[in-house]
Copies of this chain bind each other. A is one copy, B any other.
Amino acid sequence: MFTHSRVKIAIIGAGPVGSLCACFMAENGYDVTVYESRTDIRLDKSTSGRSINLALSERGINALRFIGLDNIVIEELTEPMYGRMIHSIDGHTYSIMYDINKSKCLYSVSRKELNAFLLTKLEKYPNVKLNFSHKLVDVDFNAKLLTFQKSLENQQQTVKPDVIIGCDGAHSVVRKHMIRQPMFNFSQTYIDHGYFEISLPSAATKDTLAPGHLHIWPRSTFMLIALPNKDKSWTCTLFMPMDQFPLILESENEDILRFFNEYFKDFMDLIQPEHLLNQVTNGKARTLISIKCNPYHVNDNFLLMGDAAHAIVPFYGQGMNAGFEDCTILNQLLEEYDHDLKNVIKTFSLRRIEDAEAISDLAFYNYIEMRDLVARKSFLWRKKLDNILNKWFPQTWIPLHSSVSFTTIGYKQCKLDNQWQDQILFRMFILFATFFSISLYFFASIMSKSL
């Protein structure tokens, strides 16, 4: 086996997962080169992020902890969200806390800022080389060759690393080449719904939204959400069926405002109409894709991680957390297999696929919860019951949202636990209903005899 410093690792994609994965491999002493098709995100001065704000939770934090970055990221980059603030259509609001003790929270973070932070950290490793504007154009799986188009110099470069890790996101180029390899199972599913981003700058409003919350305007088939930023601005996102967007966003200005005033009255109190209209004119609705692969590797030297392997819809705020957790698992496997990379790569798929598929399903489900169920009485009762049972049995009764967001229990196990909890609650309900009916019957008999 090579000594680690002689093993060349190529990481494709310098997004949050690619950057973190590179940090992990650098910490392990490998010779790491990162290739990113775009220019350095730190040089991009545009304020709009490429995506929804991210909600960092335990799995992501745990990965950052491995390289000692958890506290600094939380302190310098994030805003805490202790619960959901639900905005009814009549302007009434109520808060649903994530944790009964109000101590656990999600951390809202700008994708761009987190990415920039990790890149700056990454640059400090002497065994890491960062190549921006390197677009992967060809992969030779047998010869282990990667060919890049260097957009700045308008020339191509071919490299031959020992291991290639594709962290190049939901529209991964590494995966595009893997699709042609035998026995590589793959699916991409676009959901009918898409999203449109609206920023709510802190300066634009006198009032603002209550801090410490993820704000939701659930409207059954669509919803608006708002996540806080460090500078007191909010990143808001409108989710709705893709075919509905043109009807609203491409209509006359007064119709656009009428729609927002009708469904999001208290949101409109915080934003200047011109500012909203300006964003509607210049923005565009984007699609949401879910990716599944099996396996995540080709041969024993090509591996996919993060969104490239298992992009999910964003409704659980777990996309980046799952990607960061991939890094933790890769690190565990390096230790477990004593850096026998061939085995590490093959085992990664086995270790990860079921959990990634579970969070993919849960994320689909959570969209229904967010845009519809949170506004229902039955949901609030279930939440209360969950909290009571969690208080009585803190080790065994962990509600689904908590186990997903505040633990590192495997996603599949979280899903199974929730199914088991649903069954218990259903049986308790039947038992209670039966007991109540029998009592009512005896009470009625006694009453009729006494009359």
List chain A positions with a Cβ less than 8 A from chain B: 171, 176, 179-180, 182-190, 242, 287
A185 touches B188 (CB 8 A): yes
Q: Is the CB of A189 within 8 A of B185?
A: yes
Q: Are A187 and B190 in contact (CB under 8 A)?
A: no
CA distance A190 to B188 in the complex (A): 15
The closest CB in chain B to the CB of A287 belongs to B182
In the assembled complex, which residues on chain B have CB atoms less than 8 Å from the CB atom of A180? 171, 176
C-alpha spacing A189/B179, complex, angstroms: 11
**Nearest CB in chain B: distance from A170 CB, A:** 11
Measured CA separation A180–B289 after assembly (Å):
11
A189 contact set on B, CB distance < 8 A: 185, 187
Q: Which one of A176, A185, A189 has the highest number of Cβ atoms from chain B below 10 Å of its Cβ?
A: A185
Q: Which residues of B contact A176 (CB under 8 A)?
A: 179-180
Pairwise interchain contact A287-B188, C-beta atoms closer than 8 A:
no
Chain B residue at smallest Cβ distance from A187:
B187
Which of B184, B242, B287 meets A190, CB within 8 Å? B184
How far, in angstroms, from A186 to B188 measured CA to CA in the complex?
Answer: 5
Going nearest first, the 4 A-B pairs with the smallest beta carbon separation are A187-B187, A183-B190, A182-B287, A185-B189
Determine how close the nearest CB of chain B comes to the CB of A343; give it in whole angstroms: 18
Q: Which residues of B contact A182 (CB under 8 A)?
A: 190, 287
Closest Cβ of chain B to A390, distance in Å, is 38
Asked whether, in the complex, the Cβ of B179 is within 8 Å of the Cβ of A188, the reply is: yes
Pull 21 A–B residue pairs with CB atoms less than 8 Å apart, ordered by A: A171-B180, A176-B179, A176-B180, A179-B188, A182-B190, A182-B287, A183-B190, A183-B242, A183-B287, A184-B188, A184-B190, A185-B187, A185-B188, A185-B189, A185-B190, A186-B186, A186-B187, A186-B188, A187-B187, A187-B188, A187-B189
Could you tell me the distance between the alpha carbons of A183 and B243 in the complex, rounded to whole angstroms?
Answer: 11
Distance (whole angstroms) from the CB of A188 to the closest CB of chain B = 5
Q: Report the Cα distance A189→B187, complex, angstroms.
A: 8
Given contacts A171-B180, A176-B180, A184-B190, 18 further A-B contacts (CB under 8 A): A176-B179, A179-B179, A179-B188, A182-B190, A182-B287, A183-B190, A183-B242, A183-B287, A184-B188, A185-B187, A185-B188, A185-B189, A185-B190, A186-B186, A186-B187, A186-B188, A187-B187, A187-B188
- Residues of chain B within 8 A (CB-CB) of A185 are 187-190
Residues in B with CB closer than 8 Å to A183 are 190, 242, 287
A196 to chain B, nearest CB (A): 15
Residue of B at shortest CB range from A183?
B190
Complex Cα distance, B181 from A287, in Å, reads 11
User: Nearest chain B CB to A192's CB is how many angstroms away?
Assistant: 9
Smallest beta-carbon distance A187→chain B, Å: 3
Task: Give the complex CA separation of A205 and B184 in angstroms.
Answer: 40
| Chain B residues whose C-beta falls within 8 Å of the C-beta of A190 in the assembled complex | 182-185
Q: Across the two chains, which residue of chain B brings its CB closest to A192? A: B183
Whole-angstrom distance between the alpha carbons of A171 and B182 in the complex? Answer: 11
A304 CB, nearest partner CB in chain B, Å = 15
**In the complex, A186→B189 CA distance in Å?**
7
Q: How far is the CA of A242 from the CA of B188 in the complex (A)?
A: 25
Shortest CB-to-CB span from A123 to chain B, Å, is: 32
Closest to A286 in B: B182
CB contacts (< 8 Å) of A188 on chain B: these are 179, 184-187
Residues of B within 8 A of A187 (CB): 185-189
Q: From residue A409, how far is it (CB to closest CB) to chain B in Å? A: 29
